[in-house]
Structure formats: C-alpha cells, structure tokens
Copies of this chain bind each other. A is one copy, B any other.
Amino acid sequence: MSEPSTPFLPKSRVAAVQAAPVFLDPAATVDKACSLIAEAAGRGARLVAFPEVFVAGYPYWNWLMTPIEGAEWHQRLYRSAVLAEGPEVAALCAAARDHDCTVVIGVNERDPFSVGTIYNTNLVIGADGSLLGRHRKLVPTWAEKLSWAGGDGSSIRVYETPVGRLGTLACGENTNTLARFALLSQGELVHVANYIALPVAPASYDMAEAIRIRAIAHSFEGKIFTITACSAVSEEIIAAMSEGRPGNRELLSRPNSAFSGIIDPHGQVMGEALIDDEGIVYADIDLGECVRPKLMHDIIGGYNRFDIFNLTVDRTPRASAYFIDEVQSPGSSEEAP
C-alpha cells in the first residue's frame, strides 16, 4: 500500500492570529490576511486560525449606540459584506493553496437572495484552496442581533484536514453545550473558536477570561486541542467609534478584552497566550495526546450513556422557499432557489 498523505494521528504546527481588520474594507483586509497566512506558513504552520468576522470588522456600534443611531453604520457594514462566491473569498482560497495551509477565517457574509441580510460566517478553507465549509453563526450574541441573521444547522460539521478532524464555532457559540457536543460527536480533534475583542461588554464580563474558560472546558471535556483566535481593537476602530462620542475611547481601550492561544487535551494553555496585542501564537500539537485522557472520560464513547441521552441534530438546509423545477422522479429532493 502507498503511504497515505495524512497519518492517523498527525503532529502539526498550528497558528492563531490576533489582529485587527482594515475596518469595513474587505479588499484591504483580505490583503492583510494573505500576508499573515504567508508569515505563519513560513514559520511552519499548517493551520492558520483568524478572528471572527475578520473580513472586514465587527459592528461595535451595536454596543455603543442606540439601534437608531447605529443604522447608518449598518448600511456601511452591509456594503462591505462579501459573498462566499465573491472575489475576496477566492483570494483567501488562493493564499491557502499557495501556502499549503488550512485556514479558518470569519467574514461578514451577504445573503445572495435577501438584500439587507448579513451573516456572521466562519469559512473553512482547505490546504488545496477549496472552500470546505461555511458556518453561519447560529445565534448572534445580545447586541449583535441588531446586525446579523442566524444560520441554519447545515454547517454543524467537522472536516478532514491534514492537521486532523477540524470543527469551528464562532464566539458565543462556544458557550452552547449542544453545539459543542455535536462537533465532538463527529470525532473533532482540532477546534477553532474564534472571537472578537469585546472591551465594550458589561464590566462584570472579563472577555479574555470568558474566552479562556470556554476553550479549556471544550478541550477538557472532549480531550481535544482548541485554538482560539481573537481580533484586536485598532486605533482606526477606536477613532471611528469615538467620533462625536469621546467616552467610547476609554471603553474600547479596556484591557483583557482579547485572548488568543492554543489549549491541549488536558485543558491547559500551551505556552503563552496573547492578551489584547496583535500577533501570532504558535503551538506544535500531537493528536496522539488525545488518546490517553479518554481512559478517564470519553464523552462520545464509553463514558457516556446513549441509551439515556439521545441528541439529534437537524442539519437540513433552510431557505425562504424551495423550488421544484424538474419533473420529479420519485424520491428526489427539491432545489433551493
């Protein structure tokens, strides 16, 4: 037999990018992302994880303005949103292929049918440049509901990649016990949890700690590696949000608002995590380390009780209408518009 391209439990270097986008400028942000892919791949990374909606920025106004005040910014967000089939995503795919690197990156995605609808979408791009998956965040968090519609269940999937079976959830979704389990149940071994820096949350909410808790919990429960990649807040963003609202400058400068790092299957941070500052965090992960902790607890195997707990995940794609355009042979399925 020929040697398989990916060993059973591979070892790889992975990278988590903590960076700010060029605010609401998708073309410039994609350029920045491609440079960061090149840099990380140059240092040996076979997986590069980017923040949530890195292309091209997070709607901070939802937290800093009333909905009416923010509506003008919404127009700008909508016009900066990209299509999954558009040129910006094509450029990211090319960079992944050129650097033989799996990439997970968040984008503001424009719905191809409903004018005005935007999704918070995580793209999983294969090392061959193909678009492996597109996960639309299921439920936006609190004030984010003012900007994004929720996705359907069709993207609750893990993907075979050279660094191992990979799944991703965006930000608050990592709080969702059932969403996390649905990925673990598919044999997820590498989880990308990407976030945005959230200095504007309530004072009781320590965002860096909130990111860390969820990451170590997911790694510990599933006995897998978790990679968190979080955005940074740039002076450009602070300036945009503080224009005419000087109090926002202090809010947006609050420390401990971003955390990027890699967690091992015991729930421990590998090396140093990056707090708030821009940069790239690297770690060498060995999936063989996922085997032994399962002797203690294997929640998708012998340590669970599927005679008692029965989870069904509806991954049916949802559309506003389904169109049947051809004479059906019995049993075939409808086409979406």
A292 contacts across to B, CB distance below 8 A:
71, 74-75, 116, 202, 204
Q: Quick check: B299 and A177 within 8 Å, CB to CB?
A: yes
Q: Is the interface of A mostly helix, strand, loop or mixed?
A: loop
A184 contacts across to B, CB distance below 8 A:
177, 320
Chain A interface extent, by class: 35 or more
Q: Quick check: B187 and A309 within 8 Å, CB to CB?
A: no
Q: How far is the CA of A305 from the CA of B148 in the complex (A)?
A: 15
Q: Quick check: A310 and B294 within 8 Å, CB to CB?
A: no
Q: Quick check: A307 and B304 within 8 Å, CB to CB?
A: no
Q: Quick check: A220 and B216 within 8 Å, CB to CB?
A: no
Identify which of B142, B149, B314 contacts A308 (C-beta below 8 A): B314
Identify which of B68, B114, B317 contacts A294 (C-beta below 8 A): B114
- Proximity bits, A78-89, B CB within 8 Å = 1, else 0: 110000000100
- Shortest CB-to-CB span from A6 to chain B, Å, is 14
Q: How far is the CA of A237 from the CA of B178 in the complex (A)?
A: 40
Q: Quick check: B175 and A220 within 8 Å, CB to CB?
A: yes
Interface residue? A66 (CB, 8 A): yes
- Copies of this protein, total: 6
Q: How far is the CA of A157 from the CA of B113 in the complex (A)?
A: 13
Interface residue? A271 (CB, 8 A): no
Residues facing B in A142-177 (CB within 8 A) are 142-143, 145-146, 148-150, 152-154, 156-158, 172, 175-177
Given A176-B221, A314-B337, 14 other A-B residues pairs in contact with their CB atoms under 8 A? A74-B292, A115-B294, A139-B302, A142-B146, A175-B221, A181-B181, A182-B309, A185-B321, A187-B337, A310-B311, A313-B323, A313-B324, A315-B323, A329-B335
26 chain-A/chain-B pairs, Cβ below 8 angstroms: A78-B291, A115-B187, A116-B291, A117-B300, A142-B146, A143-B146, A146-B146, A172-B297, A172-B303, A175-B221, A175-B297, A176-B303, A177-B184, A177-B299, A178-B304, A182-B321, A187-B337, A204-B293, A213-B216, A301-B320, A312-B321, A312-B324, A312-B330, A315-B324, A316-B327, A330-B334
